[in-house]
Amino acid sequence: MFMRTASRLLLFVFATVVVLTPVGAAAKDISALLPTGDESVVSRGDFLRAAIEALDLGKSSYNSTSELPYRRIPKAMEKYVRIAEGKKALDVFKFDLLLARGITRGEALQVLVKLTGSQSSRSVSFSDVTPGSAEELAVKVAVEKGWMEPLKPDLFGVRRVLTSKETLLLLRKVSGQRTEREGATVNESTPTIKIDFKSSQRIGNLPKTQILEAIWKIIQEDFLHQDKVNPDEAAWKAAEGLVQSLGDKYSTFMKPANAQNFQSQIQGEVSGIGAQVEFVNEILTIVTPIVGSPAEAAGLLPGDQIIKVDGTPLAGLDFGEAVDKVRGPRGSTATLTIRRNGTELTVKVTRDVVKVPEDIITWQGDVLIVKIAQFGKITESELRPILAQANAKKPKGIVLDLRNNPGGLLDAATIVMSAFVPKGSDVAVIRANKSERKETTAFEPVIDPGVKMVTIVNEGSASASEIVAGALQDHKRSTVIGSKSFGKGTVQQVVQFVDQSNLKLTIAEWLTPQKRKIDGAGIMPDIAVKEEEGRDAPLLKALELLR
């Protein structure tokens, strides 16, 4: 599967995931604490509250006066956060709890292992579980105790979000309750997730609703090929068309399969040839191949246009359809017809599961080189501790390499900035339809402010990369070198529906702390340095400036 990024799918997430669920009667016992609807996504906050109540920890003593190291804790959740913090059950969430975000299977198990104090010596081996990690321990416990089943023999599914039904079953197993509800045994298999189209409740004034409903009624009654009618696909196509009518290249509706791939990218792992792509003039174009990916090994380059896949032209297809042509099973070969500088060539790429290497830390003598490939959850949770350890070695200078970084999460960008600038520093100005706010750092820096810094950008640096480079430039914390960045300066919000489909909608634009516009303009480097074949000219220039 192709990673959909940059101009088309490179998002800059401004808000946490919103879960829309159908209205229904509250269930009994612990299910009253979960979203209504078996297939509703469970947020971290709802899971934490339900887990603590299910394990009868709600009356546990806790320190109500100590300062919590987290941002944005609702008053109603403070008790549960403090109880979980006392048991170190929140370590999995690192610096920001993001309680409204959907919780994954792996995160939920890590919380439960800490809450219960469970241990296991069992051996497990799954392709999506890192050996020796806290996640592996949690999976060991889950397998040994029968809390949760793997999705496949070699895939546990730690990055899949939990539904209300799955959560209820899990908590009943962990707490020893019966796995029955309203007289019926809970099905332990993975459920089929569908949108509830039966509700008569309107949540908005959709134009031409009567015409749309009339069309659907006529199709159901009179269309000749009734065996070809797929209600879910029809609804998704209508949603896609509604969003496409906005004429905004960054707003898109993603069916469940595409949405899952998108979430996997943010988690740091994708399946496919390992290239980040965008739609440029209706042509599928490579922004950058991922380091160590099949695309890189095959020699694909930024700017390559994909004209055909296995001899089939992509002309006339929309972005999703074009991407689908490149997708395929792991181990299969995609024969791509590439247009590069006006010349067509054929490139064969073997598809594989690609782990996105978000952060690569190296040293050049006494200069620390920090290469960030994307601003995802790995960067958000792991970079600050790594930089703190590196700072103990007293680097003479730091190179922040953001070349070919297409962006990612706002929280991750803010965390990166927090490592270099004083607490409370502006990261970006976010201008919405009816409001304007500032994003600021919430932590003390981990790098000595006296350490000189150079940031490298190029035409593949977009979105979150531009926020960080622009903010460092405005604060005069770093010299920016390289070439002008991509120029992606709008903010997308992701809304997740009960069938796991996603809406990614442009809701704001971002500016640098000094309110410099980035969208369409990019970040101009302080010192222009061109790439040269056979030598890394920008990096050599950065080392020269620092030494």
Q: What is the pLDDT of residue 14?
A: 28
Class of domain 359-546: alpha beta
Q: Is the pLDDT of residue 128 over 80?
A: yes
Burial class (CB in 10 A: 0-12, 13-18, 19+), 49: buried
Domain coordinates in residue numbering, the chain: 40-185, 272-355, 359-546
Cβ contacts of residue 457 below 8 Å, gap of 6+?
402, 403, 465, 466, 469, 480, 481, 482, 483, 484, 485, 523, 525
Rounded to the nearest 5 degrees, what angle is found at the Cα of 284, between the Cα atoms of 14 and 470? 40
**pLDDT tens column, 88-98:** 999 888 767 88
**pLDDT tens column, 148-176:** 989 888 889 999 888 888 898 899 888 86
Q: What is the mean pLDDT of the chain?
A: 81
Q: What is the pLDDT of residue 71?
A: 67
Q: What is the pLDDT of residue 33?
A: 72
Q: What is the pLDDT of residue 16?
A: 27
**Catalytic sites, residue numbers:** 463, 474, 488
Q: What is the pLDDT of residue 10?
A: 34
Q: Is the pLDDT of residue 494 over 90?
A: no
Q: What is the pLDDT of residue 204?
A: 59
* Topology annotation, domain 272-355: Pdz3 Domain (2.30.42)
**pLDDT tens column, 13-35:** 322 233 232 222 223 356 677 77
Rounded to whole angstroms, how far apart are CA atoms 262 and 270?
Answer: 8
Q: What is the pLDDT of residue 491?
A: 78
Q: What is the pLDDT of residue 180?
A: 34
Lowest mean pLDDT among 117-121, 480-484, 514-518: 117-121
Query: Band of the pLDDT at 363, cuts 50, 70, 90?
Result: very high
Rounded to whole angstroms, how far apart are CA atoms 43 and 35?
Answer: 9
Rounded to whole angstroms, how far apart are CA atoms 411 and 268?
Answer: 15
Q: What is the pLDDT of residue 261?
A: 55
What value does the mean pLDDT take over residues 406-425? 91
Name the DSSP letter for residue 447.
Answer: S
Q: Is the pLDDT of residue 353 over 70?
A: yes
What value does the mean pLDDT take over residues 213-232? 89
Name the DSSP letter for residue 43.
Answer: B
**pLDDT tens column, 298-339:** 999 888 999 999 999 998 887 767 887 887 778 899 999 999
Q: Extract the tokens encoding 25.
A: 């009667």
Lowest mean pLDDT among 44-53, 339-348, 377-386: 377-386
- Return phi, psi of residue 323, to 5°: -65, -40
Q: What is the pLDDT of residue 184?
A: 29
Element (H or E) spanning 146, and its range?
none
Q: What is the pLDDT of residue 473?
A: 98
Query: Band of the pLDDT at 414, cuts 50, 70, 90?
Result: very high
